[in-house]
Amino acid sequence: MITFKLTPEQELIRASAREFAETHILPIAGELDEKQEFSRELTSKIAKQGYMGIIVPREYGGAGADVMTYCLIIEEISRACAAQSVTMSLTNSLVAGPIINFGSDEQKKKYLPPLARGEKLCCFALTEPNAGSDSANQETTAVLDGDEWILNGTKIFISNGGVADFAIVIASTDRAAKIRGLTAFIVEKGTPGFTVGVKENKLGIRASNTAELVFQNCRIPKANIIGGPGRGFRIAMDTLDGGRVGVGAQGVGIARAAFEAALKYARERKQFGSPLIDFQGLAHKLVEMQMEIETARLLTWKAAWLKDQKKRYAKDAAMAKLYGSEMATRVCHAAIQIHGGYGFIKDYPVERFYRDARITELYEGTSEIQRMVIASHVLK
């Protein structure tokens, strides 16, 4: 039986995350967005709350929390600033996740504790110029030379790319084997041949660093392979499934922020002698926004519950991500409409919410890819 009743501990964690986000993140979110500034100071504060290691087992310095708790925190952080939730979700789901699930004992001991403490930042490098939705088409290669692998290639649109202390990189170790020839490597910053390229100038989540990574004859020890040669595609797909649950929660958080701003404005703004909220058409629009948010949250919680119960959840993760992301864009669009012309200027935060929401339909698998994933499950 599926149950979404939160425990007293989860309710406390959610309230604590909301208070932290409103106190430390919300007041500076707009400024960081305007400057396109990744704040190490703010990231350190998030880490001190334990949020960078929410899903990391206690034995490695993390909170050892379940996925449901993780989603609660992601929603609250996203409500204040989606860019900060990117750093948190990236660390937990896209980097700590594959190390927990596929890494060696030595890799877990070396990388998980500093990740959980926020002492190390990281990134997950899968996307390439010719390998976006077609993630199996990896042109980055790794060739074995004695006790080392020589890595060559370019990764693009990598969240945290310019500030990461290490990267998980998916590369082809056997082009003829296609997806069976992909391998996951840990590549540390400072490794000769590993450089950061262009920092992207983005529409939204501008306080999150996104950059190009370049590998030129970059030598990686054999010990830095995750899960063994040829397991990279499985690792990448499993990692993205987990990440999509978090994107669903992120969409809910962004949409909540937009809805709350629209509701406040509708109560305060008067036209034709009455507050906007007294007009039935606008009140109905707010009701639809709230229903969409609640629906997306339930889809996300279902996917989180299934993952916590060790049940198959790939379809539900895709549904949570697809609906949550497209819902966030719709709700933010409606919030701007309610604000009228004021919604189009930076004095009001709804334009930032709209810009931030848009990326959720693209990263960790576009909406089109999510529909393909869902179809593969329901149309068998």
> Catalytic residues, which ones?
364
Cα–chain-centroid distance for residue 296?
Answer: 16
**Distant-in-sequence, close-in-space partners of 119: CB < 8 Å, separation ≥ 6:** 47
Q: How many CA atoms lie within 13 A of 205 on its CB side?
A: 28
Question: Encoding tokens for residue 278?
Answer: 């007294």
Name the residue type at position 184.
Answer: A
Dihedral, CA of residue 275, residue 281, residue 282 and residue 286, to nearest 10: 130
334 HSE (CA, 13 A, CB side): 28
In angstroms, the Cα distances linking 246 to 56, 273, 304 are: 15, 43, 9
Distance CA 32, CA 30 (A): 6
